[in-house]
């Protein structure tokens, strides 16, 4: 069996961090992560980025040593991605905040409302309907995070949780001050890109379920449905904060959708050519 010598250098300083002798040819990047973790426990695998070039792309966990363009003495460059947090934790934090904030306003808790109005019930039916719809929307997201979504990357930098949550929290706080009516959507229950228990992606295709038919036209139907629901909120509430939230959300989702669409085109040679990132035939 062929063996390699693996040298790991710091991508910034070029200092030698680790030298591995007699590494088996079928070892993957994840094995190298483990070896580096043993040499220095502060670099646990999730925060490691190993690359062939200091400014190149990170190797995937499944990249095998013998299939990489290296000789029997391989040099890799290490970057510390910083403290990591799981995607599940990020989404749970991001979605729990708006749910709780809205309910605080709905139940008119004393530290938000003056004593005259604390814990009073609105006489308008639309207020109760709005609360039910808004709560359903975020409870649905929480359940999807726990039982539906799977992630090709298990973690993200810890600092990103603040960027992901602050917009949701701030807008929820603003929207809760006015009447916010949500549209009930069930799209995510049918939009899984990964095999159960696997990180291997496949091209999603429409099935007999009508919620999946939009796959004929777009790569990221979850964003398309989300945009449609927020446009509905904007039209029904005719409220500026909701319109602002919709616009900013659309811009961000468009960036994400374009990125995913490009990665699908590179990854799958037979990817359907008629699909657009988020809006059929437009964007």
Distance CA 239, CA 181 (A): 10
More confident position, 197 or 133? 133
Distance CA 99, CA 95 (A): 7
- Angle value at C-alpha 254, between 99 and 256, nearest 5 degrees: 75
Give the rounded distance of the alpha carbon of 197 from its chain centre.
18
Higher pLDDT, 266 or 175: 266
Is the pLDDT at 196 greater than 70? The verdict is: no
148-163 pLDDT per residue, tens: 776 666 777 777 777 6
Residues 20 and 77 grouped into a single domain:
yes
Residues 6 or more apart whose Cβ sits within 8 Å of residue 215: 204, 205, 206, 221, 275
Domains identified in the chain, total number: 2
One domain, residues 163 and 92: yes
Report whether pLDDT(277) > 50. yes
90 shares a domain with 18: no
Q: Which domain holds residue 192?
A: 85-267
My answer on whether 95 and 223 are in the same domain is yes
Q: What is the DSSP letter of 276?
A: B
User: How large is the average pLDDT for residues 55-64?
Assistant: 83
Q: Are residues 15 and 123 in the same domain?
A: no
Task: Choose between 147 and 253: higher pLDDT.
Answer: 253
> Is there a single domain that holds both residue 121 and residue 253?
yes
pLDDT tier, 190 (very low <50, low <70, confident <90, very high otherwise): very low
What is the average pLDDT across 122-130?
A: 73
Residue 153: HSE in the Cβ half-sphere, 13 Å Cα cutoff: 14
H and E: helices and strands count for the chain: 6, 6
Question: Do the Cβ atoms of 233 and 181 come closer than 8 Å?
Answer: yes
How is 188-256 classified by DSSP, letter by letter? GGG---B-TT---B------SSGGGGGGGTBS-HHHHHHHHHHHHHHHHH--HHHHHHHHHHHHHHHHH
Same domain, 64 and 130: no
Assess whether pLDDT exceeds 90 at residue 254: yes
Q: Which residues are registered as beta bridge partners of 86?
A: 155
In the predicted structure, residue 208 carries a pLDDT above the cut 60: yes
Q: State the Cα angle at 221 between 219 and 224, rounded to 5°.
A: 115
Task: Find the CATH number of the domain harbouring 39.
Answer: 3.10.20.90
Q: Is residue 278 part of a domain?
A: no
Say if residue 25 is in the same domain as residue 110.
no
- Residues 189-201 have a mean pLDDT of 53
Find how far residue 257's CA is from the centre of its chain. 11
The pLDDT of residue 229 is 77
Q: Is the pTM of this model over 0.75?
A: no
Residue with the larger pLDDT of the pair 43 and 168: 43
pLDDT in tens, 5-53: 888 888 888 888 888 888 888 888 888 888 788 877 888 888 888 888 8
pLDDT at 172 over 70: no
Residue 112 lies in a domain: yes
Residue 63 has pLDDT above 90, yes or no: no
Specify the pLDDT at position 173: 58
CB 23 within 8 Å of CB 8 = no
Dihedral of alpha carbons 25, 29, 32, 38, sign: negative
Mean pLDDT (the chain, rounded): 79
């Amino acid at each position: 069996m062929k063996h390699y010598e693996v040298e790991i250098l710091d991508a910034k300083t070029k200092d030698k961090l680790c030298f591995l002798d007699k590494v088996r040819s079928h070892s993957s990047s994840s094995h190298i992560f483990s070896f580096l973790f043993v040499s220095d426990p502060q670099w646990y695998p999730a925060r490691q980025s190993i690359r062939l070039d200091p400014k190149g792309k990170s190797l995937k966990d499944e990249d095998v040593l013998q299939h990489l363009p290296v000789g029997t003495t391989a040099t890799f460059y290490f970057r510390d991605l910083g403290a990591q947090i799981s995607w599940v934790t990020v989404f749970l934090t991001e979605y729990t905040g708006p749910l709780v904030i809205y309910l605080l306003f709905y139940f008119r808790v004393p530290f938000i409302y003056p004593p005259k109005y604390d814990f009073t019930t609105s006489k308008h039916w639309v207020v109760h309907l709005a609360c039910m719809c808004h709560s359903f929307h975020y409870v649905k997201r929480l359940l999807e995070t726990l039982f539906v979504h799977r992630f090709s990357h298990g973690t993200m930098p810890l600092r990103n949780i603040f960027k992901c949550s602050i917009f949701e929290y701030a807008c929820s706080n603003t929207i809760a001050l006015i009447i916010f009516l949500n549209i009930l959507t069930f799209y995510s229950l049918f939009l899984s890109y990964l095999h159960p228990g696997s990180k291997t992606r496949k091209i999603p295709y429409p099935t007999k379920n009508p919620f999946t038919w939009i796959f004929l036209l777009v790569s990221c139907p979850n964003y398309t449905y989300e945009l449609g629901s927020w446009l509905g909120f904007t039209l029904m509430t005719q409220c500026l904060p909701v319109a602002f939230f919709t616009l900013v959300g659309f811009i961000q989702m468009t960036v994400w959708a374009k990125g995913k669409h490009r990665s699908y085109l590179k990854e799958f040679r037979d990817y359907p050519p008629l699909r657009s990132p988020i809006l059929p035939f437009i964007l």
